[in-house]
Structure 1
Amino acid sequence: MKTLTLGLAAASLAGTAMAADMGAVDEPIKLAVNEWTGQHITTHIAGEMLKQAGYQVEYVTAGYMNMYQAMSDGEIHAAVEIWSSNVSDDYAVKVEDGGIVELGDLELAAKEGIAYPAHVADMCPGLPAWEALKECAQNFATAETIPQGRLVDYPADWGTPGADRMTGLELPFKAVPAGSEGALIAELRASTERQTPLLITFWQPHWAMSAYDVQFVDLPVGEEACFNDPAWGPNPNAVNDCDFSPTRIFKAAWAGMEEKWPAAHEILSNYTLSVDAQQPMMGEVDVDGKPVEEVVAAWMAENEQVWRPVVDAATE
């Protein structure tokens, strides 16, 4: 199974003659574990690659929006799935201050947006066009939102991207934060099983996109002016009257990592992961109930020809 990009393999092999020092192998490298299943998988693959190289690894539970101070302080050493469309302002501050450095793209193709299970299109004629939501919002209303429709937004500590778009596009919906990724999935499952209306902020890659036939609302294309210039877009009085900006998923580390663990820094810099690899593993964890560690171990065993050159290039 070809699960990492060809470019990665080529780049890694090309660097074989320039193997880095291992550094402080007696001290653990601490990787941030955030709130969603895909990130757990991404992080554990990275961690297992580091272990194969000869490092000690600790997985540290860390809030996605507020982990950057700890990373800048060297209490967390790397985070390997950061979404550009939903990262706190503190990240940029810590990069500018020199406490954090980027390690390059993860190359995980991604999209975020306002979404709905496919059956909901019958309850809101005109979908996927966003304008249709103006006329059918009452179909999404609940006791806590009436007369507005309900949008199930990301958990509060992930930011408020759904709410921002409801405001920007003047859509008559109230954004209600979900409690967790699991709560978002429960909403999709219940809506699909009961054939009830649901509008939700969601993303891909995610196994639920296929399991519940989730579709994205067509919003005005997101570009930089939308987020800074109220005059841009369909609402001349507000920003965020557009779709999410194109998402880049990247890796970052404590600025001292390269000096302390040179080979580990090289491994994480060259590490990439594809949607085709990640999404099936997410289904094994969230649908089949398998532990992340078990799923990642199976992937590592089946794909050694893909990840091993990355480790070898940094260590031999």
Structure 2
Amino acid sequence: MKHLSLGLAFAALAGSVHAAELGAVDEPIKLAVNEWTGQHVTTHIAGEMLKAAGYKVEYVTAGMMNQFQALADGDLDATLEIWSSNVSDEYAKKVAEGKVVEIGDLGLDAREGIAYPAHVADLCPGLPAWEALKDCAGVFATADTLPMGRLVDYPADWGTPGADRMTGFALPFKAVPAGSEGALITELRASVEKKSPLLITFWQPHWAMSAYDVKFVDLPVGNEACFTDPAWGPNPDAVNDCDFAPSRIFKAAWSGFEEKWPAAFEILSNYELAVEDQQPMMGEIDVDGGKVEEVVTAWMAANEAKWRPVVDAATK
């Protein structure tokens, strides 16, 4: 689905959102900072919007999977980039308990999957078809995985979606969790520079998708039956023999947020960010070495028409 430009979306919102009370401006709003660069960009833009409205903001480092207890307890006030394909059961539990509330989609068009740099197709003929991996797993083997191939999966606290696919498709690969997003990028860079084999769990939006010409393996389209019924899909003995479910990216807050900071709640609820805005900033940080704060500040100054209407609609 094509995404409206951020400016158009915000302009439309500005006409429909009503001004609200600011609330407890003397107390900082604590925003969760998770483990990947795109989330840092998302969160700092949100924080700068809140500051522009007159709020104090505190950025708090929090693990993606374990942040929801802190959110339920009010030790965190909001988290701005939750991926539906990678969210923990704890999130649903806290929402059901009424301690965490969902505050709308972020608006990023996203995809996750099993991927490889384009040159790897020469090393494993038949790609992008997933069946090709049955015959060339040995190409991806390392000393630690022999005789199985090696899949570099997400960091352990992001879940095990890559490992789940290897099991689901009965592919002879061992999934090895990366230590961080940076470790995933290091793997991609080394593979491209050396023209060496690499199979990796990855996602878009991400600057590395274009920088390293990353391609996704073609897997059967994911649906709920695939994740619950072993009989569905090419492997009758396992679930997860399909692609990742389409990712929805959304935001959540502590249940007391709206009452404590009404205008801030409206700002974060109506805040959206387009891939076209986020992805270049990720590249400025991860490729060019820019600091998150400086990159976001520059973007805010150059794109005021894209975010100011939401702040003004909530506060004036």
Give the TM-score normalised by the residue count of structure 1.
Answer: 0.98
> Is the counterpart of residue 13 in structure 1 residue 15 in structure 2?
yes
**Which residue number in structure 2 is paired with residue 128 of structure 1?**
128
**Which residue number in structure 2 is paired with residue 28 of structure 1?**
28
Unaligned runs of 5+ in 2: none
Counterparts of 1:242 and 1:12, CA distance in 2: 41
Q: Relative to 1, partners in 2 of residues 1:150 and 1:165: Cα closer, same or farther, differing over 3 Å?
A: same
Contact kept, 8 Å, 1:5 with 1:273, in 2: the verdict is no
Write the letter of the residue equivalent to 2:183. Answer: A
**Which residue number in structure 2 is paired with residue 297 of structure 1?**
297
Counterparts of 2:201 and 2:218, CA distance in 1: 13
Give 1:25 deviation, angstroms. Answer: 0.2
**Which residue number in structure 2 is paired with residue 231 of structure 1?**
231
- Structure 1 runs of 4+ aligned residues shifted over 6 Å read none
Instruction: Indicate the SS of the match to 1:65.
Output: coil
RMSD over aligned Cα, in angstroms?
A: 0.9
How far does the alpha carbon of each residue in 1:280-314 deviate from its partner, in whole angstroms, 9 at most, with x for none? Answer: 00000000000000000000000101100000000
Counterparts of 1:181 and 1:255, CA distance in 2: 30
Contact kept, 8 Å, 1:219 with 1:242, in 2: the verdict is yes
**Which residue number in structure 1 is paired with residue 111 of structure 2?**
111
Instruction: Indicate the SS of the match to 1:226.
Output: helix
Write the letter of the residue equivalent to 2:185. Answer: I
Correspondence list, 1:95-244, <5 A: 95-244=95-244
Instruction: Indicate the SS of the match to 1:112.
Output: strand
Instruction: Indicate the SS of the match to 1:107.
Output: coil
Instruction: Indicate the SS of the match to 2:113.
Output: strand
Give 1:9 deviation, angstroms. Answer: 2.1
Q: How many residues align?
A: 313
Instruction: Indicate the SS of the match to 1:58.
Output: strand
Contact kept, 8 Å, 1:31 with 1:78, in 2: the verdict is yes
Give 1:5 deviation, angstroms. Answer: 5.5
Give the TM-score normalised by the residue count of structure 2.
Answer: 0.98
How far does the alpha carbon of each residue in 1:38-59 deviate from its partner, in whole angstroms, 9 at most, with x for none? Answer: 0000000000000000000000
Counterparts of 1:147 and 1:158, CA distance in 2: 26
Instruction: Indicate the SS of the match to 2:175.
Output: strand
Contact kept, 8 Å, 1:152 with 1:200, in 2: the verdict is yes
> Is the counterpart of residue 263 in structure 1 residue 228 in structure 2?
no
**Which residue number in structure 1 is paired with residue 61 of structure 2?**
61
Give 1:11 deviation, angstroms. Answer: 1.8
Write the letter of the residue equivalent to 1:6. Answer: L
Contact kept, 8 Å, 2:130 with 2:219, in 1: the verdict is yes
Counterparts of 1:3 and 1:276, CA distance in 2: 8
How far does the alpha carbon of each residue in 1:62-112 deviate from its partner, in whole angstroms, 9 at most, with x for none? Answer: 000010000001100000000000000000000000000001000100000
Contact kept, 8 Å, 1:41 with 1:281, in 2: the verdict is yes
Counterparts of 1:215 and 1:128, CA distance in 2: 8
Contact kept, 8 Å, 1:5 with 1:274, in 2: the verdict is no
Give 1:35 deviation, angstroms. Answer: 0.2
Give 1:14 deviation, angstroms. Answer: 2.4
Instruction: Indicate the SS of the match to 1:14.
Output: coil
Instruction: Indicate the SS of the match to 2:251.
Output: strand
**Which residue number in structure 2 is paired with residue 46 of structure 1?**
46
Counterparts of 1:5 and 1:148, CA distance in 2: 49
